[in-house]
Structure 1
């Protein structure tokens, strides 16, 4: 009799334990329906001794990766400071897609500038997949015949292959994950950086299994004004750019759009507001600034790389305003690209910059900038003049030689009826820009608020070491034209 009682008690205890485990598993599965919930649940498996600190920025990164999984984003670029869990986030993302999302068929090609780093993360992914907790919830066996740290396959036809950035030829995937393609030690080397950019353009963009549905995700810190992030955006193939400076800059507030709709907006409102105070409080930021120096901090932490040298213009010199005072005189100066756009090339830009002058202040009012063909240049030149009106002087450059003179004459004829002046540029670009630099430093230059502000400041404040200087030329010419036509002369503004 006692034996039967004990057996029944054991049966009930076993049933209670089974129900508890079932309920616990259901709770975990429900929590893991989101990528953020999955990371919180499985964090101790990969980082048992580190506390997980989950701020809004990480939630935003998870939101964008989820949009990739949902097919809403195909090309995603995330530029974020060091310490933002970049590498682990991509590890968890793949495990989440294979497990909770029910997509063990997804094939992943992961890369980084460092082979040890990308192999390290592939091993972490395998450790996570093979953990007892993961296997209990989402049984997924790894194939014995392909289970190395560099590449392992699962029985659902998916795999994760880790390759160094320099050896991408031959591999393909449904997900190409690029984690810091540049090294901080070599990003300033034109040769090393150029090689990395070439590999990205020639060896990454065609590594997709399906050009319509497979995705590329790049996550990195900015290290140079012509790094992979800059080139990815210049290619204009549809990268959604999530950009997080450590300290908030209202002029560069990040907004992302999906299918034409606002998808995310940086929630910060105050200039200098920190990105991740839970992990990087103000005291730590000040320490980083002292340790890194302004150049490294600007690129790695503010995602605003600038040359180590240069400095004719400083961002703080340009106040942004909403309007120009009444009674201003105006000029639009043009700088025409010398080369036509070609596939795989990044030629100069054609720029038309409109400036106003009132009460001793120069206002950059509008910037038209594009890589137009010669025919489109003429159409846009005339259309812009029509929009500006007859009261605005138009300044165009005349390149040396007969061809330059003929081209300028053609444009003057095209602009018949408008106030047009042709000037042949002389001297070095930096010399011609000195009056504009002096006025900006004196606080006499304003920018009228517009979508072009960020691109303009990036180029001007990197001059003379940036890749392009077309906006600088137009800026300098417009200011010089207005200065000569006012009480200023080039002698007293230089």
Structure 2
């Protein structure tokens, strides 16, 4: 519930007092002022964005990423309204707002200036309104040293420090297909914007955008880690509970449309036809890979709901694709865990990490013990060669007694066949149900993205582990490989 006010006030005073405390109310006043005569579509997703922004205000979140389709009030909500609200709450507050071009940046700055110079804003935040000493397309300053500075990719930020950085669509869709444009935007984030926080421990960064490609700014920020991510695809692809303001939640189910009043399913399908599946999946579904990849039809893969206990599984097989090094730019080492239940192999777990060899060996041995694995398949390449040798010693009880595993067979995977042929030749086993994926798993979305974008993904280690298993672990009869020693 909204906090009660201590005194009975006239309606306008009440509204202004409420807007001072409640950003969602303040946002509605901004929208009315900037769009006179237009009713704000009060979709639940607006409340979800307001809640995520309020967590920045409260300090419970310092890094926030929101991905949302075009024309869903993202710029007005963050770059205009939220920056005006934060400056109202602290006249010495410093904000840098960055967009892909100076024209867009200036346009949003003019919207911001319309808000803070309005009569109603002076009622909500009188001290800030009285304190403005500089008011231009790129910079608004207060007497107390606060400011909002608007810039664009490549723009100078030297001399400006920030308590809050707002990154709003740092790339336009037309540039997303050019590697040099993506690299330029990423460098600007790393070398210019992120270094501008006045206090690295308490400073906040908000990035709000639509997805444009697998290697876009959103992916770059995700790879940095530490960002809370509010992902709002136009059509829901998973069941989830989303936090709203005032302690409320919204239960979103697979297939639910984000804004059925403005963009019902029929409109979205027309947009899909107009844009094409790849652009629609990126910009509207926040998924830069379409549901039907070049080699994989994700919707055709058979699923299971809940894995049985280990005692009810006939066999456990691990499939490992090992990287050459643990460097941040290197591939991942990936292990997939499969259990035979009846006539189907179930994908039970997926391990994906950058590990040096001692840690890799320790992890493989740990997973072998945890799952009581019957078979471990390792690609005979890179660090997998040494891993095969150590696992052979374990199997023959020639290693340290703590690692003896005579019950666990190790097999060498053959990597001579081209990757695409390996995956393609095994997909019928996933489509037919001889091998099944879980309906839900914390790693499933990353796996889906990699499989959908194969063979053009930056990484393909999960695909390699799975295709290796499909080649060695499943035959047409679905008999476990351990029976053919």
Into which bin does the TM-score normalised by the smaller protein fall?
0.7 to 0.9
- For residues 85-484 of structure 1, what are the structure 2 equivalents within 5 Å? 85-90=73-78, 91-99=80-88, 102-139=89-126, 140-141=129-130, 143-144=132-133, 146-170=134-158, 171-236=160-225, 238-250=226-238, 253=240, 267-269=251-253, 271-306=254-289, 310-324=293-307, 326=312, 328-341=314-327, 345-358=328-341, 360-390=343-373, 392-399=374-381, 405-414=385-394, 416-417=404-405, 418-448=408-438, 449-484=440-475
Question: CA 1:339 to 1:265, structure 2 compared with 1: closer, same or farther past 3 Å?
Answer: farther
Kept after mapping to 1: 8 A contact 2:290/2:452: no
Question: CA 1:37 to 1:116, structure 2 compared with 1: closer, same or farther past 3 Å?
Answer: same
1:75 counterpart = 2:63? yes
Deviation of 1:373 after TM superposition, in Å, equals: 2.3
For 1:164 and 1:406, the matched residues in 2 are separated by 50
Kept after mapping to 2: 8 A contact 1:182/1:193: yes
Kept after mapping to 2: 8 A contact 1:394/1:419: yes
For 2:429 and 2:217, the matched residues in 1 are separated by 34
Deviation of 1:266 after TM superposition, in Å, equals: 5.0
Question: CA 1:20 to 1:59, structure 2 compared with 1: closer, same or farther past 3 Å?
Answer: closer
Kept after mapping to 2: 8 A contact 1:77/1:241: yes
For 1:444 and 1:370, the matched residues in 2 are separated by 27
Kept after mapping to 1: 8 A contact 2:66/2:208: yes
State the number of aligned residues: 455
Kept after mapping to 2: 8 A contact 1:317/1:443: no
Kept after mapping to 2: 8 A contact 1:240/1:256: no
- Alignment equivalent of 2:30, drawn from 42, 53, 68: 42
1:66 counterpart = 2:61? no
For 2:187 and 2:371, the matched residues in 1 are separated by 41
For 1:24 and 1:450, the matched residues in 2 are separated by 49
Kept after mapping to 1: 8 A contact 2:242/2:251: no
Deviation of 1:41 after TM superposition, in Å, equals: 2.5
SS in 1 for 2:207: strand
For 2:334 and 2:443, the matched residues in 1 are separated by 12
Kept after mapping to 2: 8 A contact 1:310/1:464: no
Question: CA 1:75 to 1:155, structure 2 compared with 1: closer, same or farther past 3 Å?
Answer: same
For 1:296 and 1:41, the matched residues in 2 are separated by 33
For 1:264 and 1:187, the matched residues in 2 are separated by 36
For 1:254 and 1:156, the matched residues in 2 are separated by 41
Question: CA 1:394 to 1:308, structure 2 compared with 1: closer, same or farther past 3 Å?
Answer: closer
Deviations 1:124-182 (A, max 9, x none): 111211112222442223544x3221112012321011110222542331110000111
Deviation of 1:367 after TM superposition, in Å, equals: 0.8
For 1:464 and 1:409, the matched residues in 2 are separated by 30
Between structure 1 and structure 2, the one with the greater Rg is 1
SS in 2 for 1:338: coil
Deviations 1:235-276 (A, max 9, x none): 11x10000011111226x37689xxxxx9865213x211111
Structure 2 spans left out of the alignment, 5+ residues: 1-6, 396-403
**Where does residue 55 of structure 1 map in the other structure?**
43
Question: CA 1:240 to 1:368, structure 2 compared with 1: closer, same or farther past 3 Å?
Answer: same
SS in 1 for 2:165: strand
Kept after mapping to 2: 8 A contact 1:79/1:303: yes
SS in 2 for 1:474: helix
For 1:254 and 1:452, the matched residues in 2 are separated by 18
Kept after mapping to 2: 8 A contact 1:313/1:440: no
Question: CA 1:219 to 1:340, structure 2 compared with 1: closer, same or farther past 3 Å?
Answer: same
For 2:465 and 2:8, the matched residues in 1 are separated by 72
Kept after mapping to 1: 8 A contact 2:211/2:286: yes
Deviation of 1:106 after TM superposition, in Å, equals: 1.1
For 1:465 and 1:265, the matched residues in 2 are separated by 38
Question: CA 1:364 to 1:407, structure 2 compared with 1: closer, same or farther past 3 Å?
Answer: closer
SS in 2 for 1:353: strand
Kept after mapping to 1: 8 A contact 2:298/2:452: yes
Q: Which moved more, 1:20-29 or 1:294-303?
A: 20-29
Kept after mapping to 2: 8 A contact 1:357/1:482: no
Kept after mapping to 1: 8 A contact 2:316/2:372: no
Q: Which moved more, 1:316-325 or 1:20-29?
A: 20-29
